[in-house]
Chain A
Amino acid sequence: MKYIFTILLVCSFSFYATAQNCSISLSGHVEDADTRQLLPGATVTINETGARQTTDEKGDFTFSALCTGKYSLTISHVSCDTLRKNIQLDKDLHVELYLPHARRTLGEVLVEAQKGAANTGFKKELNAAALETTKGFSLAEALSQINGVTMLQTGSSISKPVIHGLHSSRILTINNGVRQEGQQWGNEHAPEIDPFIADQLVVIKGVDELKYGSDAIAGVILVEPKALRNQPGYSGEFNSGYFTNNGQYYVSGVWEQQLKKWPAFSYRLQGTFKKGGNVSTPDYRLNNTGSEEKNFSVTAAWRQARFNTELFYSHFATKVGIFTGSHIGNLTDLERAIEAAKPDAIFLGQRTYDIQRPYQDVAHHLLKSKTTFRRGENKFNILLAGQLNHRQEYDIVRSAANTRPQLDLSIATFSEDINWEHPKRNGFNGTAGISMMQQDNSYSGRYFIPNYFSYSFGGFFIEKWSRHRWELHAGLRYDHKTINTNRLKFNGDSINNDFKFSTFAASFNAVYKISDNWRSNISVGLASRAPYVNELLSDGIHHGTATYEKGNIALKPEQSLHITSGVHFQNNAKNLDADILLYANSIHNFIYQQPRPDSAVLTIAGAFPLIEYTQTNALLYGLDLGVSWNVTAPLKWTSKLSVLYARNVSAKDWLILMPANSMSSDLAYQFKNGKRLSNSYVSLEFQHVARQSRVPDEANGRQDYKAPPPAYSLVHFNAATTVAIGKTPVTFGIGARNLLNTVYRNYLNSMRYFTDEMGRNIQFRIKVPFNP
């Protein structure tokens, strides 16, 4: 690069004396400085003339018929910081432009394999286009479109993501750059995030995990909003939809503006309202399965070339009904419910939006400030965030006069992160950072986890190097966490437990581009996770499973050693893409719940089997396979296969609640763009989920009371088209989940004890952008 510039400089001097010439061309090439991804769709503006070009698929652009002189260029792209560059034109010139990535979270991982671009690690993502068909669904439902990601559910309205068999506190969810801190430990606690905030959802594994914590044993989920506008003016988008199964409707809107007077200032307002009624299975409707969500967010930013600051606030509020027929008093009740082919008629058939007990009411606030500034070629990020999570669970109570929640948890979290990105030198590129967190949890009502105050501090260092066919990443992280817990019992007994945990993580990733068609990737990582408070100190009846859960204060951090390797192939015609990912995750001191068959807990509601948190050595291994083939130009076939084995090595047994093997195949037909209609397609997806045959043996203590449900196959349908109404491209979509109204139950849904899954659900959606 340097040489090219020198030569150009010399050239420009030699032509300095020539007369005004107005037939010069300026060409250039734009890449993402961090990911080295080619940037199509970047806007290049010559500020002096106002001439504007958009880069093509390869990130190239050309201006012609320019006169000699000094010019300034502005280069912008939705996912990057805007770059300004001064040039002197004396003869035809070619410039290489590298745009710094705008999002703190990127600037890291590889580029998506689907696009066939250079790859630098393990990353799977859903972009805005893929998210379109998941509008109105939950975050986990959207994520489960990604190969290797499944869902853990409580009915159809509570779902949380599972990556390669692991979930809850083993996954870090990064919402707009901030580590989500709610009550993730519970199986029936869904992430408190509005999926409408996201422009893309990304799952990463590898070195970049270290930026967020040493405890990302399963991986990191990034919820990425769209970058703010970088052109003065305003724009917006309105989304709405309706689902036939449960009468669910949603409206969601975004408004954003960059001020003309102060182009450094821009802001965005966003809001979503969603409401659904009782869900219907193919044969019956389930009472009290409605849900409601009210979310909004505000972003304001001040952006200059060397200084950038952003304030973000989001509020998430949801109320979710739990199927009344799943109310379980004790083990006998559970066994009865399991025997019954379907729930009693008293719990079925109401078509309403009303939500009664039992239900959950959850609110989550996030306030974040992010500041980026540059000193020379050094870049610094300061991220401050405050989160408040309030979860209330309303059970069925004896007295209608009781309006209190039975479980009431509040958690407040403050976090401070400072990152430094050092200048790029000799192919080296790195980030170092320190982070701190303070957390205060309190409860009232029923005891499940104690009050606690926790604080942690940590630091990481990541270095990346790339040259020719090689890309190497390596990183380290250390965290220290202190937890002081306190439970003051009704009889005045005070139970205090204090814990200190140190966790260490390291990661190494190597990418080798074998040829233009083949790329291989291998990563080795060490992660460790401190036990969570519920694993240490829970003590009470879990009604959903009719068990008595007990924590264990002797637990040590669990340590994972994982090896992931992948090969990606793309043919020369670029119409066939294949991806294979093999992984093995060996977890030392894996925390799980072990039944203690000899020590049932006798209560006034009968005897409950005891299960206790304990540790073992676990090994999870499997593969994800993805193939996409453009059979002919309009016809595209995509297929995914996911296989997982999860062993309890010490007990020589399987681990409970692991996703079964699954595969899906999707055939999409893309219509040619017409005069009024564009981006029209129809697609049909076939999904098959095998029966989970790898379940714990009862000889080691009965962990489950119902055998996994049989295998099932589903068919889904999707179609959309964009109609130009005036100047507005309005998108209409129609989709159908479970098109054939198949009766099935899902092993990872705790409601499988009681009910079938949701039947056919047809969805209509509309998207109206303003001033796009």
Chain B
Amino acid sequence: MKKNLFKIALSMTLVTVLLAACKKDDVDVEDNEEEVITTMKLTFTPVGGGTAVTAQFKDPDGPGGTPPTQDEILLAPSTTYNVSLQLLNETQNPAEDVTLEVVEEAIAHRFYYEPDAGSNITVSGLNNDENGVALGTTSSWVTGAAANGSIRITLRHYPGNPPGKAAADPVNSPKSGTDVEVNFTTKIQ
């Protein structure tokens, strides 16, 4: 009797395993972790003290669906800020810090900061990758007099093998492609 029960149990288990193997996906939640970046977060820390401010580009459901929302970058005049940039995938809980992946593959990534002429912002002091070429997850922003303008922040990815990233590469280098491109409006007041 015991033997029979064991047999039945074993065959039931096998059938279940088989069914589960065949019918794996219909109950799965969408695996949206692949390469999705939902958020760019900039943190501005004034040099010489003061409260840090942040500005975000947020597209919580990824490309498509609900349109993204975006903060304005609001800075004080004639101030130097240490700026750190963070990319997040908030479709996951807790949110995945994509910046870590970018830093890990620093020799194949590069951020560009392009303030427009009227913005009265200059960006410099980008951190470097291990080859001494700009990476740009941190930077230093200097503001001038009160102004309204915009800044474009671009993350370029070098797909080549080897990546061939060089200091002189312009933002639209044919060697790299765009992973992230966000335009923020800026206001110095």
Given A396-B159, A397-B35, A604-B59: A344 and B68 interface contact (C-beta under 8 Å): no
Q: Is the CB of B28 within 8 A of A444?
A: yes
Q: Is the CB of A328 within 8 A of B63?
A: no
Question: Does B78 sit at the interface, judged by CB under 8 A?
Answer: no
Q: Is the CB of A604 within 8 A of B24?
A: no
Question: Does A346 sit at the interface, judged by CB under 8 A?
Answer: yes
Chain A residues, CB < 8 A from B57 = 604
Q: Is the CB of B175 within 8 A of A346?
A: yes
Chain A residues, CB < 8 A from B37 = 604
> Which of A76-84, A399-407, A730-738 touches B?
A399-407
Chain B residues, CB < 8 A from A541 = 63-64
> Which of B8-16, B101-109, B129-137 touches A?
B101-109
Task: Output the least CB separation between B12 and chain A (Å).
Answer: 23
Q: Is the CB of A488 within 8 A of B180?
A: no
Chain B residue nearest in CB terms to A399? B101
Q: Is the CB of B25 within 8 A of A490?
A: no
Q: How far apart are the CA atoms of A337 and B125 in the complex, in Å?
A: 30
Given A446-B34, A488-B29, A603-B63: A343 and B179 interface contact (C-beta under 8 Å): no
Q: Which of the residues A340, A344, A444, A604 comes within 8 Å of B31, measured between beta carbons?
A: A444
Task: Output the least CB separation between B24 and chain A (Å).
Answer: 7
Question: Does B182 sit at the interface, judged by CB under 8 A?
Answer: yes
How would residues 395 to 420 of chain A score, 1 for a CB under 8 Å from any chain B CB and 0 otherwise?
11111110010100010100000000
Q: Is the CB of A398 within 8 A of B177?
A: no
Interface residues on A, range: 35 or more
Q: Is the CB of B30 within 8 A of A489?
A: yes
Question: Does B188 sit at the interface, judged by CB under 8 A?
Answer: no
Q: How far apart are the CA atoms of A602 and B181 in the complex, in Å?
A: 10
Q: Is the CB of B178 within 8 A of A491?
A: no
| A-facing residues in B134-165 (Cβ within 8 Å) | 156-161, 163-164
Interface residues on B, range: 35 or more
Q: Which of the residues B24, B34, B64, B91 comes within 8 Å of A491, measured between beta carbons?
A: B91
Chain A residues, CB < 8 A from B67 = 602
Task: Output the least CB separation between A356 and chain B (Å).
Answer: 6
Task: Output the least CB separation between A749 and chain B (Å).
Answer: 20
Given A324-B160, A539-B64, A540-B63: A398 and B101 interface contact (C-beta under 8 Å): yes
Chain A residues, CB < 8 A from B30 = 447, 487-490
Q: Is the CB of B160 within 8 A of A346?
A: yes
Chain A residues, CB < 8 A from B105 = 398-400
How would residues 327 to 346 of chain A score, 1 for a CB under 8 Å from any chain B CB and 0 otherwise?
11110110011001001101
13 pairs, A vs B, C-beta closer than 8 Å: A332-B172, A344-B160, A344-B173, A398-B101, A398-B109, A447-B32, A453-B26, A489-B61, A550-B64, A601-B64, A602-B68, A604-B40, A604-B59
Interface residues of A (CB under 8 A from B): 287-288, 324-325, 327-330, 332-333, 336-337, 340, 343-344, 346-347, 356-358, 395-401, 404, 406, 410, 412, 442-447, 451, 453, 486-492, 539-541, 548, 550, 601-606, 608
A333-B177, A453-B26 known; 18 other A-B pairs, CB under 8 Å?
A325-B159, A329-B177, A329-B181, A336-B174, A344-B160, A346-B160, A346-B175, A356-B161, A395-B35, A397-B35, A398-B35, A399-B104, A443-B25, A446-B34, A486-B26, A539-B64, A605-B178, A605-B181
Interface residues of B (CB under 8 A from A): 22, 24-32, 34-35, 37-40, 57, 59, 61-64, 67-68, 91-92, 98, 101-102, 104-105, 109, 156-161, 163-164, 172-175, 177-182
